[in-house]
């Protein structure tokens, strides 16, 4: 746990997030600066700076959550493709130093970008989080 870490604050409920799914080890929520519609982050609940620090148990849990969210994105957003990536260190483009994985829907011919400068439309982020969350919960019941 890190007191000044924005993702730890989201885990503790001290900062808002458009939550999609959570379990004992992971939390998925909409990236507040979405590069594309449906851009979602999956984070470990424990504070690990990056892949090198994260426990194998936590990484396996992230993979399982990423698959759940990926299926939800496939159904709800229906992208041409889905890019999954994870950045370690400033030199790699990491901007929040708490382990997180990006799930980014992609369209044919769209230019490649890793980060956006404009915050997403709050209403759309709410709508996506609700639709994706409902899909993940439905699948969990099957």
Per CB under 5 A, the list member of 5, 83, 130, 136 interacting with Zn ion is: 5
Q: Which of 25, 39, 45, 47 binds Zn ion (CB under 5 A)?
A: 47
Q: Give Cβ neighbours of residue 92 (< 8 Å, ≥ 6 apart).
A: none
Task: Show the site string, 85-124: x = touches Zn ion by CB under 5 A, - = not.
Answer: -------------x--------------------------
Closest distance to Zn ion from the beta carbon of 135 (Å): 27
Contact at 8 Å (CB) between 61 and 26?
yes
Query: To the nearest whole angstrom, how small is the minimum distance from the Cβ of residue 39 to Zn ion?
Result: 20
Q: Which residue lies nearer to Zn ion by CB, 31 or 73?
A: 31
CA 128 to each of CA 57, 101, 131: distance values in angstroms, whole numbers, following the listed order: 28, 18, 5
Residue 10 neighbours by CB under 8 Å, 6+ apart: 16, 17, 27, 29, 43
Bridge partner list, 43: 27, 100
Active-site annotation holds for 100: yes
Number of residues that bind Zn ion (CB under 5 A): 6
Instruction: State the residues that interact with Zn ion by CB under 5 A.
Output: 2, 5, 7-8, 47, 98
Q: Which residues are part of the catalytic machinery?
A: 100
């Amino acid at each position: 746990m890190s007191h000044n870490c924005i993702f730890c604050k989201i885990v503790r409920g001290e900062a808002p997030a458009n939550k999609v799914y959570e379990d004992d080890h992971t939390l998925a929520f909409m990236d507040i600066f979405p590069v594309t519609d449906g851009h979602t982050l999956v984070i470990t609940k424990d504070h690990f700076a990056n892949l090198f620090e994260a426990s194998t148990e936590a990484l396996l849990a992230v993979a399982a959550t990423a698959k759940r969210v990926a299926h939800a994105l496939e159904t709800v957003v229906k992208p041409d493709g889905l890019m999954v990536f994870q950045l370690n260190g400033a030199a790699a483009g990491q901007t929040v130093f708490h382990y997180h994985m990006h799930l980014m829907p992609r369209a044919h011919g769209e230019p490649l970008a890793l980060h956006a400068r404009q915050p997403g439309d709050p209403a759309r982020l709410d709508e996506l989080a609700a639709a994706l969350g409902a899909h993940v919960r439905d699948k969990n019941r099957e």
